Structure 1
Amino acid sequence: MKIAFYGSSLVSAYWNGAATYYRGLLRALAQKGYDITFYEPDVYDRQKNRDIDPPEWCKVVVYPGTAEALKAATAAAVDADIVVKASGVGFEDDLLLQEILRHARQGALKIFWDVDAPATLSELRQSPEHPLRRSLAKIDLVLTYGGGDPVIDAYRSLGAADCIPIYNAFDPETHHPVEKEARFAAELAFLGNRLPDREARVEQFFLEPAAHLPQQRFLLGGSGWSDKPLSSNVTHLGHVSTCDHNAFNVTPKAVLNISRSSMAENGFSPATRIFEAAGAGACLITDHWDGIDLFLKPGDEILVARDGKDVAQLLAGLTRQRAKEIGQRALRRVLEEHTYAHRATTADAIFRAGAARMEAAE
């Protein structure tokens, strides 16, 4: 089956947290025989900051950031068996959805793939006339990369025919244990871009413990933090390329996951970073959110903190040996249950069931 996938970017992770999710899942689907074309706009300097070349398993079409180019790109949807519009493309999202639905052929499976469901649902609840909300009746299926029952119920209540989570995961060929690198040596490292609904939690879970542990080294990776006041024991690395993620994850004693506020409040929304860090054998400390135990066992495969004080206490009692053991157990768990091959098997079954329904309805 042919998939036309309209998303933010496949070739650049620059200001694009969904990149590794797209790459892992679409690569695994391609290995199952899907013919995939990914359409992405040339915006936000992403094409100047590519971290992979267009892969052989997926055709990549980059279109200029103009309405005319967008309309031309969506015309190709007519040839696809499955047409996907992802959330957060970042350029004329409403027009993109409109044009995709206009061009998708009758009988094609039309999917809205939400990579930030809590934020999207907040918008839809506040605006009954939101273009996406008005279009849900024309969309065959909503897929999300997290959210659990709260998100499923919310989308159905707004008129979606169905909503199914396809959770984050990792690709063992991309994220795996490597040798430690001295430049990433630290007691605790955090990697994430500076975002409005994450910043306060970064202050609480990362910057406050750092300020109270002046003898320990902390690493802060990600874009947007250059003008943020930091204690002297915090090193800001700026954007960390995906090719360095394995070393960044495996070198520090522990790696911190901090959910955005909306994700933490909703729960059942593991960040891609969790699986990627576990795939490298990292010892993870995460902020608390409902549903953690569905993915990793708290206290055994992952450590859970409810505030910055917890983070400091966990670090104080964490030996290098225990950190290594936690990381090894997490690695075993994600290899057994949380690779993109597992997620692609789920997506494949969903696609085939949806295609069968579409065929039966014709």
Structure 2
Amino acid sequence: MSDRPLRLVVLGLSLSSSWGNGHATTYRALLKAFAARGHQVLFLERDVPWYAGHRDLAAPGFCDLALYRDLGELERWQPAIASADAVIVGSYVPEGVAVGDFVQRIARGVTAFYDIDTPVTLAKLARGDDEYLSAHQIPRYDLYLSFTGGPTLARLEQAYGAPAARVLHCSVDEVAYAGLDRRKRWDLSYLGTYSDDRQPVLETLLLEPARRAPQLRFVVAGAQYPPHIAWPSNVERLEHVPPAEHPGFYAESRFTLNVTRADMVRAGHSPSVRLFEAGACGTPVISDVWDGIDALFRPGEEILLAASAGEVLDILLGCPEGARQRLAKAFQQRVLGAHTAAHRAAELEAHLRAAMRRDHHLAREQAAT
């Protein structure tokens, strides 16, 4: 099969709004780089009120973006879905099971599920929760793209019947997330939407250090934090930082904190997009600990790991500026050398073309019998 440009349709949670989700920045980086490889992309997004009031990319220049109000309105895009070389359905799409059934029924090209939340998805399926994906759909997707690597890929194939489970980690647009020279406002920052399972770790690795070291400055940026949280006086709160302001946010942080959701810690091999964004901006990261992080970064040389408030404070109070800058430089080099959107777009293209070849060979075998 020739390596002609591909026509790709993506039905994802959001491209237009980064408010309260990490999907938008992931899709923006990946699809911008994918389009730069010469491919055509259509992104179909459910028009929901909580994103409608917070759109920060209403007209992307790298792909076509269309909003649909309900499943009935989605049907108007049936010709584009049917004729595409590949169609990707993403995790957390509203009425995702119905959307997936629709795609699997009409798409003539490769169909793929892109799971930016794989451990959460599998935990949901184990509980019988089919919020956006049903177990019966997994074998019918030609490709399962998982932001989680490691043993989870074998589990998807062996336990759920995925024909091809492939890792597709998040990434960073290295042009949009370039390092800036800014005065440091905070000793430790955190950027992330509230979640119940992350909050205890945030409490341990940021709020408790803030209480113990009132002379240091901290910030927590993100939406949906409940009003009952008692923020120490040296912790600044920002409700939302749009992607265009992320580089400045990181540049004004001596260190930034990575906190991983509980299901992803249990699965391991689940790097957050915030890791790559901070790295591209040249900001060193203090991360919680999970299996597989040492396969991505060298602990102590490119990233620092902490499991307690005391360990965080040892870093903030004991790391000389020269050592901090060397750490930041090494981390940045690793991210730019292996984890940019250009890297992921090449991986995505390779996965889609491999699935197209498998479908082509299968069709020929069926025709010969």
Q: What's the TM-score, normalizing by structure 2?
A: 0.92
Q: Deviations over 1:241-262 (max 9, x none)?
A: 1111001112121111111111
Structure 2 unaligned blocks of 5 or more = 1-5, 364-369
Q: Is the 8 A contact 1:38 1:58 kept in 2?
A: yes
* AA partner of residue 96 (structure 2): D
Q: Is the 8 A contact 2:138 2:162 kept in 1?
A: yes
Cα offset, 1:149, TM superposition: 2.4
Q: For the residues of structure 2 that align with 1:355 and 1:54, how far apart are their CA atoms?
A: 30
Cα offset, 1:326, TM superposition: 1.0
**Aligned twin of 2:192:** 192
Q: Is the 8 A contact 1:277 1:284 kept in 2?
A: yes
**Aligned twin of 1:35:** 40
Q: Deviations over 1:303-345 (max 9, x none)?
A: 1112222112221212333222211111111111111111111
Cα offset, 1:128, TM superposition: 9.3
**Aligned twin of 2:13:** 8
The alignment yields a C-alpha RMSD, in angstroms, of 1.7
Q: Secondary structure at the match of 1:113?
A: strand
**Aligned twin of 2:92:** 88
* AA partner of residue 95 (structure 2): E
Q: Deviations over 1:217-254 (max 9, x none)?
A: 11110012261211111110111111110011121211
The 5 A counterparts of 1:148-167 are 148-156=149-157, 157-167=159-169
* AA partner of residue 193 (structure 2): N
Question: More displaced, 21-30 or 119-128?
Answer: 119-128
* AA partner of residue 98 (structure 1): D
The 5 A counterparts of 1:187-266 are 187-225=187-225, 227=227, 228-266=229-267
Q: Deviations over 1:126-184 (max 9, x none)?
A: 329886211122111100112x22211221111111211111221111111113156xx
**Aligned twin of 2:367:** none
Answer yes or no: is 1:57 the counterpart of 2:58.
no
Answer yes or no: is 1:97 the counterpart of 2:100.
yes
**Aligned twin of 1:318:** 319
Q: What's the TM-score, normalizing by structure 1?
A: 0.94
Question: More displaced, 124-133 or 282-291?
Answer: 124-133
Structure 1 unaligned blocks of 5 or more = none
Cα offset, 1:25, TM superposition: 1.1
Q: Is the 8 A contact 1:121 1:154 kept in 2?
A: no
Q: Secondary structure at the match of 1:196?
A: coil
* AA partner of residue 26 (structure 1): L
Q: For the residues of structure 2 that align with 1:206 and 1:289, how far apart are their CA atoms?
A: 18
Distance 1:219 1:129, change over 3 A: closer
Q: For the residues of structure 2 that align with 1:95 and 1:288, how far apart are their CA atoms?
A: 37
Q: Secondary structure at the match of 1:197?
A: coil
Q: Secondary structure at the match of 1:177?
A: coil
Q: Is the 8 A contact 2:123 2:263 kept in 1?
A: no
Cα offset, 1:30, TM superposition: 0.9
Q: How many pairs align? A: 355
Q: For the residues of structure 2 that align with 1:71 and 1:95, how far apart are their CA atoms?
A: 12
* AA partner of residue 344 (structure 1): A
Q: Is the 8 A contact 1:221 1:239 kept in 2?
A: yes
Q: Secondary structure at the match of 1:88?
A: coil
State percent identity of aligned pairs.
32
- 2:50 pairs with one of 45, 52, 68: 45
Q: Is the 8 A contact 1:74 1:96 kept in 2?
A: no
